[in-house]
């Protein structure tokens, strides 16, 4: 009796296990790729899937045409056809999908004919894919569709000559909470484009004069990196980009930073709807209705966005000096003579703005930089965060705007 009861219990447990597993077993490859189309096409992607098969939790879609940049009724101007493999696919109880990774075969194809443009891109990989249960999706969900995009080497050639190469690229975000577990609270992200090489010598074929200037400035071959880091809170739209750095060896580094509030998902959704309206077939941007809508959207952005801070910093590694030498040669004078002329003309140039206080802010640091190019930074730091609408209105009184912005210019100071 005991043995029979045990067998019955095992059978019931097995049936219960099968019932629990039923949603995973019901995963359908076609439904999954249909969801991919439904989510991404409103975002401007043209997607056509060929044969789709499923092996365990891996979905393989063959001959997928991916186009970007198209307009209604017209084919996308740039498109690639490739196989796409979705790995670690799962359907969640609410009908949304996750995929651990998306990979495509290495790309090795022409993209232009005259001159012949060719691209090679290896190790393309997307991680942390999330497809919500319904489409179209709201802005905060769009931000969570992909957790990371990574690639290996990129090489672009023109008529067989290499013009661009990149060792690797990565853009990744961390979401709080994880996608599909609740409304997005905040995120952090970073971008890294590593070991960029630009060979500009081929410009000589199209514009010999420009090529000569590029060579004189030492820009025939440029090497460097691009990196960015940011944080973003959804409730108040607080977006802080604490680094957006273009750092090129033996040339210089340009770092952009800004701190704004009000860039909320609600504002993004309104911008998205306004953009979608311009993509409708027959849209006339010159019509009274279109111009009125653009004005209303512009006013809403100015009212909604608040500036807390902004800075642009340049650290020289020879480019500024080479530029001064180049200009001096062009004018047939010594560099020191050119610099003195530029310094002498600064007050006159600033006088045209009608803001006498700019002299105190600009002349001394810019003159110091011209004498000895090391670094130059322009920063805006209002005493309290101020809406762009207020700043725009204050522009009628440039002196008042200058004070409100807290504008500073510094030269040859160590990076913060």
| DSSP assignment of 110-138 | EEETTTTEEEEE---EEEEEEE-SSSS--
Higher-pLDDT residue of 112, 92: 92
Reference 101, options 66, 72, 58; nearest CA is 58
Q: What is the pLDDT of residue 73?
A: 60
Query: 92 near 180, Cβ under 8 Å?
Result: yes
> DSSP assignment, residue 62?
E
Largest CA distance in the chain: 110
E-only strand ranges, 138-287 = 146-151, 154-158, 161-166, 168-176, 186-199, 221-233, 238-248, 252-261
Query: 283 near 72, Cβ under 8 Å?
Result: no
Cα–Cα dist 360/408, whole Å: 10
Q: What is the pLDDT of residue 21?
A: 38
Q: What is the pLDDT of residue 19?
A: 36
Q: At 28, is the secondary structure helix, strand, or coil?
A: coil
Neighbouring C-beta atoms of residue 187, cutoff 10 Å: 18
Cα–Cα dist 129/110, whole Å: 29
Neighbouring C-beta atoms of residue 291, cutoff 10 Å: 12
Q: What is the pLDDT of residue 70?
A: 66
Query: 126 near 152, Cβ under 8 Å?
Result: no
With tokens 């074929």, the residue in question is 205
Q: What are phi and psi of 26, to 5 degrees?
A: -80, -5
Structure tokens at 14: 């097995």
Q: Give yes or no for a cis peptide into 175 (omega within 30° of 0).
A: no
Q: Cα 98 to the chain's mean position, in Å?
A: 23
366: pLDDT strictly greater than 70: yes
Reference 49, options 23, 31, 69, 71; nearest CA is 31
Averaged pLDDT of the chain: 89
Which stretches of 103-207 are DSSP H helices?
139-142
pLDDT band at 72 (very low <50, low <70, confident <90, very high): low
Q: At 262, is the secondary structure helix, strand, or coil?
A: coil
Query: 287 near 233, Cβ under 8 Å?
Result: no
Average pLDDT over residues 121-143: 94
Pairing of the two strands 168-176 and 186-199: antiparallel
367: pLDDT strictly greater than 70: yes
Counting every residue written for the chain, the total comes to 416
**47: enclosing H helix or E strand:** strand 45-48
Higher-pLDDT residue of 79, 315: 315
Least confident of 64-78, 79-93, 95-109, 338-352: 64-78
Average pLDDT over residues 328-332: 95
pLDDT in tens, 80-95: 889 999 999 999 999 9
Q: Is the dihedral of CA 330, 332, 334, 338 positive or negative?
A: negative
Cα–Cα dist 123/114, whole Å: 28
Higher-pLDDT residue of 165, 399: 165
- pTM tops 0.85: yes
pLDDT band at 18 (very low <50, low <70, confident <90, very high): very low
Q: Where are the domains of the chain?
A: 248-263+305-416
Cα–Cα dist 382/388, whole Å: 12
Structure tokens at 192: 């890294």
pLDDT in tens, 213-272: 999 898 999 999 999 999 999 999 999 999 999 999 999 999 999 999 999 999 998 888
pLDDT band at 71 (very low <50, low <70, confident <90, very high): low
314: pLDDT strictly greater than 80: yes
């Amino acid at each position: 009796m005991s043995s029979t009861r045990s067998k019955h219990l095992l059978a019931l447990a097995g049936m219960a296990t099968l019932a629990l597993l039923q949603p995973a077993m019901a995963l359908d490859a076609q439904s999954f790729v249909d969801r991919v189309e439904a989510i991404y096409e409103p975002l401007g992607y043209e997607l056509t899937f060929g044969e789709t098969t499923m092996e365990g939790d891996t979905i393989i879609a063959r001959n997928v045409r991916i186009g970007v940049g198209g307009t209604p009724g017209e084919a996308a101007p740039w498109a690639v056809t490739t196989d796409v493999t979705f790995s670690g696919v799962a359907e969640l109880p609410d009908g949304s999908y996750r995929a651990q990774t998306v990979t495509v075969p290495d790309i090795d194809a022409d993209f232009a004919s005259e001159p012949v443009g060719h691209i090679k891109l290896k190790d393309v990989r997307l991680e942390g894919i999330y497809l919500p249960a319904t489409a179209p999706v709201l802005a905060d969900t769009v931000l969570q569709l992909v957790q990371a995009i990574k690639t290996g080497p990129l090489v672009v050639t023109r008529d067989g000559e290499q013009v661009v190469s990149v060792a690797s690229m990565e853009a990744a975000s961390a979401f709080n909470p994880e996608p599909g577990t609740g409304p997005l609270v905040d995120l952090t992200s970073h971008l890294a484009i590593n070991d960029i090489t630009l060979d500009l010598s081929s410009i000589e074929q199209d514009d010999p004069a420009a090529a000569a200037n590029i060579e004189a400035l030492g820009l025939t071959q440029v090497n460097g990196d691009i990196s960015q880091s940011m944080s973003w809170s959804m409730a108040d739209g607080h977006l802080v980009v604490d680094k957006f750095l273009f750092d090129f060896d033996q040339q210089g580094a340009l770092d952009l930073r800004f701190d704004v509030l009000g860039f909320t998902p609600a504002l993004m959704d309104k911008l998205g709807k306004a953009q979608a309206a311009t993509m409708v077939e027959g849209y006339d941007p010159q019509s009274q209705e279109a111009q009125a809508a653009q004005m209303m959207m512009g006013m809403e952005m100015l009212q909604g966005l608040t500036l807390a801070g902004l800075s642009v910093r340049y650290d020289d590694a020879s480019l500024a000096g080479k530029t001064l030498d180049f200009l001096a040669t062009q004018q047939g004078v010594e560099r020191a003579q050119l610099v003195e002329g530029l310094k002498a003309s600064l007050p006159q140039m600033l006088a045209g703005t009608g803001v006498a206080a700019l002299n105190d802010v600009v002349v001394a640091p810019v003159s110091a930089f011209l004498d000895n190019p090391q670094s130059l930074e322009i920063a805006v730091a209002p005493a309290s965060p101020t809406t762009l609408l207020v700043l725009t209105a204050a522009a009628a009184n440039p002196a008042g705007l200058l004070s409100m912005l807290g504008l500073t210019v510094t030269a040859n100071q160590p990076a913060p």
